[in-house]
Structure 1
């Protein structure tokens, strides 16, 4: 009897271990095979961009799956489970479909062994193991499973060109290895959790069905209730915006509608509405307080009345995440890319999504609209110009003669907010932010209206000064407003409740600056903060902000006069970089009225804050976004401060790097890009390595990119390598060719230093080919040719370009294709551009293998063609598609080019890969002059004479 019991226990233990082995294989080995497949078929750095172009995945991926996808660039596919990898492989069409199609009711048969069949098998097997109720797996059943696993592994080894038995051996180990109790329990627990998770999903679905069954029993009396329930479930499934976000949007729109009650329609409003009838994007441009935000919101509410769903945008990704194809939607972007200055980080965030934005706007001209408010100072900033959709669209300039407030409009606005006295005020008030003043004045109690409008900010100053004299309550109010400044108008409620010691120190220092005791109750500060809501402040989504950015500008200035040192020490970095200006570099004409002047006796304090940010790897904040760093005097002052610091600290600062947009940038590179020549000796003196960053540009290339001969000369004198390239294989002499305003002196300097003039980038571009493509300076081309540039080296073929692109992290395939698409638009006649646009996905095949002579023919540039032919450019060389320069001229009807090429013995009998000769191309495109030219050689002689 005991023997029988012992045998039963052993048998049960063995069958449970067998189940654990299935868990090991289904959770480790099978997913790893799919990960290897994805690594080869879909490089991690391209995944998110490709998913953004796939409508099905955009609509159907769950929130947790998006979180995993956004980490793939850094973590590869390690966090992806089988269901997610199956979705990616299937919907990005990375492998051919299974024999019976995806997710067929019938599983693949033993004779169906394509790669698609095996991907389908892995998913089905995984689900089968997770959902089986019986945890006892007999030895015979285990052997059957592992036989299937090994067959799949063997086929995948062959398909992925893996070493023989690389996958199979791992399956065999999983089948036979010794599994201790802890490991066994771990895999059993994982299987149980997976089963529970998916059971919960099934239960949720079953619960819906049970509800439906219950409703059917009472069908006659509850038809309308049933319909509502079904509609609710259906609508929730169709919604891409989570319910809590929708609730927040509803609250925000409710506030808009309240503020809109006193809105006065103007010419600018009608202009924007008329634009949106025919356009899908409008940018409303204006100075602070002029009313651009109010107009965008009023217009959006009008569009809501026409059936559009209004969605305020808080971050750029909202457009991608909240967009629904076919659903009338208007997105509202307020103060895009900053309010006081152009915010480079925000610009970069928008830039990454331009492809998505353009695709959405192009595909849905009538259904999707975007209305943007933008500060004038941001709109005019050259950094903003990269956001083409918002620059090239219709713009409403509220300061223009046609759209600025008319006299009657000012009268109406003043009357709505101020009553009868408004008429007099409207005629005398000189400020362009008159609408804001009316709004703010209407919120003030016992205010002298005439005094307020004659000098509004002196009124605010007096009120704040008065608050400071009203005991602890008043000082707590000033403290609360000062914290809004410290956190740059984004004071979160949690800042007043957290136990974070860093936040506590900031609050204590602000309290001390306001005349309060250190350790003043944060509850008391929060209570006083709440009393300022609807007068000075507004509260949205647990965040306190001033009622308008113009008032925030004043508040920052006011606080700087009361607690300058406290602001410099504790304010967020962006406030420090944007609003403080040293008194020795003031420009009286351009200075903003609320800029904070740094006196000489406070300069050391300010420089110390910059170094503090620098030490925290905030290189862009210090070197790029700080308005003082543009001035050489200020940089000299900073260098003087650095020289007095400990040598170890200097070395640490000089070698500091920052990860920005997936690229490691160094102090040296940033200084070269910003043209800070006076910083170079100090940085290199600290032993900084030129190859410190992994950017697409070396420091010398960065200097060449901005065309700064003095900086290039300085770098070379300090030992920079003239031929060193970045991750895109771009050397300094490549970089120097990128812009039309290139200085001949820069080219001469580089050639004199024996720059390798025929090096090729990742796409095959030589410096000569890049110069020909991106600028029209014939003198530069001649210098390169006289320096032995090889004018017969062309671009790589499309396959090579694609292969090399997989190794370039800072430049995507989409960006490369967009570059060439824009090149054809900007440099070629419409006949060429239209040909390229017919098949935009084939653009790499069009330029693949193109030599400088091909590029000049695309541009129909006789002068460059003559220059190349004089240098013995090979005239009959073919591109990837077999087209010679003569074939291009005949295809596009460039008779003068064809004549010139024939004069130099171009072969008219050469055929393209599709078999067409030059004459065939001319006939096909109805270029009769060229047909005659090709058919009668004497015509050439006549034309030349």
Structure 2
């Protein structure tokens, strides 16, 4: 095919360069124009839902196209090519149809210049260039193409309200810019690759039909075989999981089924199976070694027998990538959010996927999750509501802890005739794990092992030191597993990576081996430990169980503390080490395998923290390090920093890290974590104290967590109290966000002249936000008496949607969900039910609402009286034309209606649909209000009004 394309005519350098220019325009500029069109007509966060709602399009999108679509919220439309964008624009009716219709045999004429015509032109021109089969483009032909490109660009500029020549100038550059040989060849290769790819797709489809015809003629009786082949092709197109990953999952499942043969059913199993008949999500909680993983896998395999497809989840994003709507699937998540402490990064990753999880749980899918007790109890884990609020099975509880008969059965399966006595005497929670370990040991004293298993392991490892080079190489191999946090990749011992070599040499030295010991020798000894201490899966060495890894980390810390601190991966350093002076500040530090930092090693540990900090690992140091929660430890770190030169201090204080698309600074992280004692040091280093890299400024963050001391410190350094973040939220806004609001903070902000009537992206003022999010009447009075304007309402829905396009940290779905939840949490059932029936229009319902409207939605007489006393405009209309009185009449709030009428509310105002207050009361059968509105008393008030 390539030969055919590049040999059609005798080539010249200029005609080939012309062809490359066409490639540049068709691969870059034309697609970019369609991407701009999509950004305006179909915001990325709405795309996937709209595609699922379009049954024709969702059926006809290929699996690889779905994989691209699922990245749209992270990558926008960057990876979308012209054919895919054309499908979306056409089938979602984003623009009017072309004059001749979509994909007509007749192309648009020169006089047909609607936006639909130009989308059709772009597709046709792109296909024409890719499939032209001739790389020679004469100058006259090039001029004709680019004249068409510029006309399209000019019209799209106008249609999309872009600055004049924004698109045209890029086309002109593509037409006239100097193309070096490498660039020219790159675009020629791309054109050739596209042509070959699409030709192969066509040939693939044609081959299927050719096979079909041939088989029909030759083997009429073999219809079933043919159908299987067709079904296989169709199934492959529909599969969202790549074949190589499916094969690996199948391989893993076969191993699970083999391991499951020794599983002993317990009461917990039946409980989980019963739960999954009614619920779609269950969480299995317990300490390490208690059997969480075994039980979740056993239950999943039972569900497989009922028709479910089992998908193990190894990283959070797998659940989004492997989810196939409408397909009965059970996802199994092992040790969610950490296997020693609650891992904040994993929590954040799952938090971003909660929308996906909710969709999965509302479909024909199940989730079975295992979670360590220490993680489940961590307050950070509470944000993952689906996993925290669902049915849980606590393996340590009286209800589900192993019974005597269950222990005997487990011991018998693993230990045979020796199991009876062991089951009687060993009461360890991790009894199942001990049975598993013991069954793998040779010449072990069973009684001694079960009475003190980790002492046995320690003695065995100690004995390896006495077995010469072979034994020390085994210790070295196990230590490398610790260094790489139980993910020792085989390639580290087979490739010559200088960085890895340095680490190996340091570990060798710590183990009593010569520097430069052969990696081959270490790998040979490592392989001998597989199936006893270690397992090897997908070319990665891991311990057979996390509980043994916990012990192994602790053991290595007693033998090579300095080596661990210097070389272990950051997450291990930050979650497993604790300074001896703060070990009792939190209960979890009594863990038997926590590593204590003695005073004489504190400087070494602090130096490692600063090293990670200098590599922009701010979250590792400030968020995930358990020591940093202690003010005493932070003081020790500050003392260490003070002894460093000023240039290094300034560099550290100004360090930033990009996390989930947001740039975090040291100041912001310290404010989020409430590290008050760190602020003076950071601010003295000359950081920009007003700069906001996210939706909240440092002062806003301090207000959000109600930390008056932090606010004082920030303001004392001259921080701008009215600086806002990307959502236009100022500190006075953020101080309104919680019910336990500190009145002293409000007074402090007012004292420093906070602008009280600034509006956020949705129109919320501090007063309106306070009314929406808490019931502190004292705060509302402070704001009103400080001249808060109680007549400023939310923006109309269209304005909110337009402003949302500029807000990166808050999606349209999140904004709509916020208001839906607000109605549920704050309003009566009659209001909530009305909103839920119109939930797609929730922004229209709330759009333009003033504080008085909000109080009427809530049927809150006290707040309404407060607002009326402050001259709130009683007849102000929101987006749909409703006044506060119209809302009271619609929902049957007679007390509110009476109060509003007493303050001269106008009964004659109509909503945009023409309905008056009396119409709303009649329509909803609120007879008391109908009678109230007919009272002559109000007629007199209206005449006076």
Q: TM-score range by the shorter chain?
A: over 0.9
Partner of 1:853, secondary structure, is helix
Partner of 2:370, secondary structure, is strand
Alignment match, 1:697: 696
State the 1:140 CA deviation.
8.1
Partner of 2:840, secondary structure, is helix
Partner of 2:283, secondary structure, is strand
2:302 is aligned with 1:305: no
Contact 2:66 2:240 (8 Å CA) reproduced? no
2:401 is aligned with 1:400: no
Alignment match, 1:825: 824
Q: For 1:190-230, what per-residue CA distance to the aligned partner results, in whole angstroms no more than 9, with x for missing partners? A: 43333233223333334444444544453157555434433
State the 1:753 CA deviation.
1.6
- What is the distance in 1 between the residues matched to 2:545 and 2:183? 60
Identify if the C-alpha distance between structure 1 residues 886 and 17 changes in structure 2 by more than 3 Å, giving closer, same or farther: same
Identify if the C-alpha distance between structure 1 residues 499 and 70 changes in structure 2 by more than 3 Å, giving closer, same or farther: farther
Alignment match, 2:447: 450
Alignment match, 1:5: none
Alignment match, 1:647: 646
Q: For 1:734-761, what per-residue CA distance to the aligned partner results, in whole angstroms no more than 9, with x for missing partners? A: 1111111111211121112221111111
Q: For 1:234-272, what per-residue CA distance to the aligned partner results, in whole angstroms no more than 9, with x for missing partners? A: 322222211110111011111111111111111111111
Q: Aligned match of 1:413 in 410, 413, 419?
A: 410
Q: For 1:625-653, what per-residue CA distance to the aligned partner results, in whole angstroms no more than 9, with x for missing partners? A: 11111111111100110001111111111
Alignment match, 2:3: none
Alignment match, 1:467: 464
Contact 1:853 1:873 (8 Å CA) reproduced? yes
- What is the distance in 1 between the residues matched to 2:34 and 2:254? 48
2:372 is aligned with 1:371: no
Partner of 1:282, secondary structure, is strand
State the 1:574 CA deviation.
0.8
Alignment match, 2:519: 522
Partner of 1:681, secondary structure, is helix
Contact 2:62 2:237 (8 Å CA) reproduced? no
- What is the distance in 2 between the residues matched to 1:760 and 1:647? 41
- What is the distance in 2 between the residues matched to 1:453 and 1:927? 74
2:501 is aligned with 1:500: no
Q: For 1:597-617, what per-residue CA distance to the aligned partner results, in whole angstroms no more than 9, with x for missing partners? A: 100000000000000000001
Contact 1:467 1:475 (8 Å CA) reproduced? yes
Alignment match, 2:483: 486
Which aligned pairs between 1:574-593 and structure 2 lie closer than 5 A?
574-587=571-584, 589-590=587-588, 591-593=590-592
Which aligned pairs between 1:252-331 and structure 2 lie closer than 5 A?
252-331=252-331
- What is the distance in 2 between the residues matched to 1:179 and 1:412? 76
Q: For 1:55-114, what per-residue CA distance to the aligned partner results, in whole angstroms no more than 9, with x for missing partners? A: 85698366588569848867x756653224324434554323445654456645666543
2:89 is aligned with 1:89: yes
Contact 2:15 2:135 (8 Å CA) reproduced? yes
State the 1:164 CA deviation.
6.0
- What is the distance in 2 between the residues matched to 1:506 and 1:600? 25
Aligned residues: 930
Alignment match, 1:60: 61
- What is the distance in 2 between the residues matched to 1:290 and 1:42? 49
Between 597-606 and 895-904, the greater mean CA deviation after superposition: 895-904
Identify if the C-alpha distance between structure 1 residues 766 and 382 changes in structure 2 by more than 3 Å, giving closer, same or farther: same
Identify if the C-alpha distance between structure 1 residues 13 and 553 changes in structure 2 by more than 3 Å, giving closer, same or farther: closer
Q: For 1:149-186, what per-residue CA distance to the aligned partner results, in whole angstroms no more than 9, with x for missing partners? A: 45534532432234666656776787799999988766
Which aligned pairs between 1:844-923 and structure 2 lie closer than 5 A?
844-923=843-922
Q: For 1:307-349, what per-residue CA distance to the aligned partner results, in whole angstroms no more than 9, with x for missing partners? A: 1111111122222221222221111111111111111111111
Contact 1:53 1:356 (8 Å CA) reproduced? no
Contact 1:57 1:91 (8 Å CA) reproduced? no
Identify if the C-alpha distance between structure 1 residues 517 and 136 changes in structure 2 by more than 3 Å, giving closer, same or farther: closer
- What is the distance in 2 between the residues matched to 1:625 and 1:229? 52
Partner of 2:908, secondary structure, is coil
Partner of 2:581, secondary structure, is helix
Contact 1:796 1:849 (8 Å CA) reproduced? yes
Identify if the C-alpha distance between structure 1 residues 428 and 98 changes in structure 2 by more than 3 Å, giving closer, same or farther: farther
Between 33-42 and 663-672, the greater mean CA deviation after superposition: 33-42
Alignment match, 2:741: 742
Between 374-383 and 292-301, the greater mean CA deviation after superposition: 374-383
Identify if the C-alpha distance between structure 1 residues 637 and 18 changes in structure 2 by more than 3 Å, giving closer, same or farther: closer
Alignment match, 1:6: none
- What is the distance in 2 between the residues matched to 1:805 and 1:318? 29
Between 207-216 and 737-746, the greater mean CA deviation after superposition: 207-216
- What is the distance in 2 between the residues matched to 1:783 and 1:276? 51
2:536 is aligned with 1:535: no
Between 731-740 and 395-404, the greater mean CA deviation after superposition: 395-404
Identify if the C-alpha distance between structure 1 residues 758 and 312 changes in structure 2 by more than 3 Å, giving closer, same or farther: same
Between 553-562 and 867-876, the greater mean CA deviation after superposition: 867-876
- What is the distance in 1 between the residues matched to 2:393 and 2:577? 31
Contact 1:52 1:58 (8 Å CA) reproduced? no
Alignment match, 2:249: 249
Partner of 1:284, secondary structure, is strand
Alignment match, 1:930: 929
TM-score between both structures, scaled by the size of structure 2: 0.92
- What is the distance in 1 between the residues matched to 2:856 and 2:910? 17
Alignment match, 2:205: 205
Identify if the C-alpha distance between structure 1 residues 101 and 417 changes in structure 2 by more than 3 Å, giving closer, same or farther: farther
Partner of 2:203, secondary structure, is helix
Between 856-865 and 42-51, the greater mean CA deviation after superposition: 42-51
State the 1:833 CA deviation.
1.8
Contact 2:25 2:171 (8 Å CA) reproduced? yes
Please report the RMSD computed on the Cα atoms of aligned residues, expressed in angstroms. 3.0
Structure 2: runs of 5+ lacking an equivalent: 1-8, 941-945
Partner of 1:723, secondary structure, is coil
Alignment match, 2:685: 686
Identify if the C-alpha distance between structure 1 residues 177 and 539 changes in structure 2 by more than 3 Å, giving closer, same or farther: closer
Between 24-33 and 346-355, the greater mean CA deviation after superposition: 24-33
Contact 1:48 1:70 (8 Å CA) reproduced? no
Alignment match, 1:360: 360
State the 1:404 CA deviation.
2.3
- What is the distance in 2 between the residues matched to 1:428 and 1:923? 76
Alignment match, 2:943: none
Identify if the C-alpha distance between structure 1 residues 58 and 808 changes in structure 2 by more than 3 Å, giving closer, same or farther: farther
State the 1:23 CA deviation.
4.3
Contact 2:68 2:79 (8 Å CA) reproduced? no
Partner of 2:262, secondary structure, is coil
Alignment match, 1:41: 41
Contact 1:903 1:940 (8 Å CA) reproduced? no
Alignment match, 1:30: 30
